[in-house]
Amino acid sequence: MTIPLSPVIRSASIFAFLILPAVADEVILSDNSRLMGTVTALADSGQVLLQSDLAFEPFQVRADHLQRVAFSAGSEKEDQHDCMVTLANGDQFPADLSGIDETSVTVHTDFGGDVRIPRESIGTVQLGVRPRKTIYRGPDNDTGWTIKNGWRYDSRRFSADSNGTVAREFDIPGSFALKFRLTWRNSPNIQAYFACDSFDTTTKSNRYFIQLTNAGFELRRQDASGNGTLYPMASVTADSLNFEKSALEVELLVDRHLGNVHVLFDGKEFGQYHDPAKSFPQGQGIMFRTTIAGDDMQTVSRIEVREWDPSAARHRNEERGDATRDVVITRSSDRGTGKILSMKPAAEDATLLYKGPHHPEPVELPLSEVSTMFFARPGDDEAPADEKPPLTLGLRGRGSLAVSGCAFNGEQIVAKHPLLGDLSIRRDAVASLQRKSEQPQNEEPAEPEEE
């Protein structure tokens, strides 16, 4: 039975929401009304069949009225894949690389087990791209922080009305991102130290620090090996920053391998600056320091420390170059154009067999040193048809797949993909379905809302 949108549907959706269990699927219609139940089928035309306790037979929701389907949450499996596959049609999904041969690439996925992909159907394979791990988000209390003098913990933030420091050690073995929000009364006057090996403000130390005052912004490098030398890395006048709202979100991306610091203000990259010292600080500490007096006040809130992969950021938008040949980019940004022959899997020492144009024999590259692979595309005459399926499945965690009709078989969804053919997908690995007319969206874990 096909049911057009009507006040009856809206009332039924509200009633269904009240009586159905929390694990029900949710169908969101074009007018933002909602139906709750269990999705039992998806037609090629985009229609959805929804089984509900309110009806003797499934509702059939017309394609032109469908906006999105949010599937009930299953048992979440932590995403530990370190490979991100981008297909020639733009679809993305995480996987583990398990094999390469002359015609295909084989990956292991959580949503569908082993998937064999024709080489010409692959856009990129990016390695070392695990989900970002959040090391700290807060403060929810002052546990673990060392507070001196003018600072105090106050309602999910640290506040200071006189000179002092607030500092903490974190487990940050590699490159990382630090984000925080600053607010002030009268004028800003705060320093943020990061990658610190010491919280002492008077002795030699290896670390970076930024300084924000009413004169502007500075980024400096303190080098203990150079007799405590302070290297200027960046200096920006206040005219280039928006101080009128007395608040600023700062994000610092620290590449410990190449010694670069990316500075972002209010979500926009302001600049990338290179460490002039011979070695780069490996400290684990973060410290905020004020030198204020009178009626001034400074606050720090929404502090977030997370792992960051600079090589992934560098290579994510890399141009592939010659589309008729394979391309390999290493984590140190070396680039080779030639032929990827095969992969030798191993528990810890997997290698890539690669033949370059300037080497008579193939060479073995440790897979741990490879960042990105592009595979040769066929000529225009051989290129696969540019199909545009009407539906997009959003995967839980990361990624999405464009598909045509879906059939449900218990805990499995059988979908037709234009490049991968018939796929058997775990139902609990799918978070949403969206019509192609809408902007496809990858499902990512939601950020916690601010109170």
The per-residue pLDDT for 47 is: 67
The per-residue pLDDT for 58 is: 72
The per-residue pLDDT for 287 is: 96
Q: Would the pLDDT of 269 be above 50?
A: yes
The per-residue pLDDT for 401 is: 92
The per-residue pLDDT for 437 is: 53
- Architecture of the domain spanning 134-308: Sandwich (2.60)
The per-residue pLDDT for 18 is: 36
Contacts 24+ apart (CB under 8 A), 277-282: 277/221, 277/223, 277/225, 277/226, 277/229, 277/231, 278/225, 279/225, 280/195, 280/256, 281/195, 281/196, 281/197, 281/206, 281/207, 281/208, 281/221, 281/256, 282/195, 282/197, 282/206, 282/256
Q: Would the pLDDT of 44 be above 60?
A: no
The per-residue pLDDT for 305 is: 94
How many angstroms separate the CA atoms of 162 and 147, rounded? 13
Element (H, E) at 352: strand 351-355
Q: Would the pLDDT of 378 be above 80?
A: no
Work out whether the CA dihedral 236, 241, 245, 248 comes out positive or negative. Answer: negative
Name the residue with higher pLDDT: 41 or 27.
27
Confidence bin at 312 (pLDDT 50/70/90):
low
Q: Would the pLDDT of 393 be above 60?
A: yes
The per-residue pLDDT for 347 is: 63
The per-residue pLDDT for 228 is: 67
How many angstroms separate the CA atoms of 193 and 212, rounded? 12
pLDDT (tens digit per residue) in 221-266: 998 876 667 889 998 887 777 777 788 899 999 998 889 999 998 8
| 106 bridge partner residues | 99, 116
The per-residue pLDDT for 12 is: 38
pLDDT (tens digit per residue) in 324-377: 889 988 877 788 889 999 998 876 688 889 988 777 888 888 888 888 899 988
Q: Would the pLDDT of 288 be above 80?
A: yes
Q: Would the pLDDT of 16 be above 50?
A: no
How many angstroms separate the CA atoms of 147 and 165, rounded? 6
Contact status, residue 324 vs residue 190, Cβ threshold 8 Å: no
pLDDT (tens digit per residue) in 188-216: 899 999 999 888 887 778 999 999 998 88
Angle at 159 between CA 156 and CA 163, to 5 degrees: 150
How many angstroms separate the CA atoms of 343 and 416, rounded? 28
Q: Would the pLDDT of 281 be above 70?
A: yes
Q: Would the pLDDT of 186 be above 80?
A: yes
The per-residue pLDDT for 438 is: 44
Confidence bin at 323 (pLDDT 50/70/90):
confident
Return the amino acid letter for 228. Answer: G
Mean pLDDT within 94-115: 92
Q: Tell me which DSSP letter residue 22 carries.
A: T
pLDDT (tens digit per residue) in 113-138: 999 999 999 988 988 777 667 899 99
Helix (H/G/I), strand (E/B), else coil: 263: strand
Question: How high does pLDDT run on average in the chain?
Answer: 80
Element (H, E) at 10: helix 7-19
How many angstroms separate the CA atoms of 36 and 23, rounded? 10
Name the residue with higher pLDDT: 37 or 154.
154
Contact status, residue 346 vs residue 98, Cβ threshold 8 Å: no
Rounded (10°) CA dihedral 231, 223, 190, 219: 30
The per-residue pLDDT for 131 is: 67
**Strands annotated E in 197-332:** 207-213, 216-223, 229-237, 247-255, 260-265, 268-274, 285-290, 297-307, 326-330
How many angstroms separate the CA atoms of 251 and 245, rounded? 18
The per-residue pLDDT for 444 is: 43
Q: Would the pLDDT of 3 be above 60?
A: no
How many angstroms separate the CA atoms of 63 and 43, rounded? 9
Contacts 24+ apart (CB under 8 A), 404-412: 404/44, 405/42, 405/43, 405/44, 406/41, 406/42, 406/433, 407/41, 407/42, 408/39, 408/40, 408/41, 408/42
How many angstroms separate the CA atoms of 4 and 40, rounded? 19
The per-residue pLDDT for 239 is: 77
Q: Would the pLDDT of 1 be above 50?
A: no
Span between the terminal Cα atoms of the chain, in Å: 44
As a whole-number percent, the residues of the chain with pLDDT over 70 amount to 81
Q: Would the pLDDT of 422 be above 80?
A: yes
Helices and strands in the chain: count of H runs, count of E runs: 2, 34
CA dist 215 to 43, 86, 236, 240, Å? 62, 45, 9, 10
Q: Would the pLDDT of 147 be above 80?
A: yes
Q: What one-character-per-residue DSSP string does 167-201 give? A: EEE----S-EEEEEEEEEESS-EEEEEEEES---S
How many Cα atoms occupy the beta-carbon half-sphere of 110 within 13 Å?
Answer: 21
The per-residue pLDDT for 436 is: 64
The per-residue pLDDT for 283 is: 92
Residue found under tokens 């950020």: 447
For the chain, the domains span: 7-75+385-435, 83-127+317-374, 134-308
The per-residue pLDDT for 320 is: 66
How many angstroms separate the CA atoms of 262 and 275, rounded? 11
Mean pLDDT within 277-283: 89
Confidence bin at 441 (pLDDT 50/70/90):
very low
Name the residue with higher pLDDT: 24 or 75.
24
The per-residue pLDDT for 117 is: 95
Name the residue with higher pLDDT: 8 or 43.
43
The per-residue pLDDT for 324 is: 86
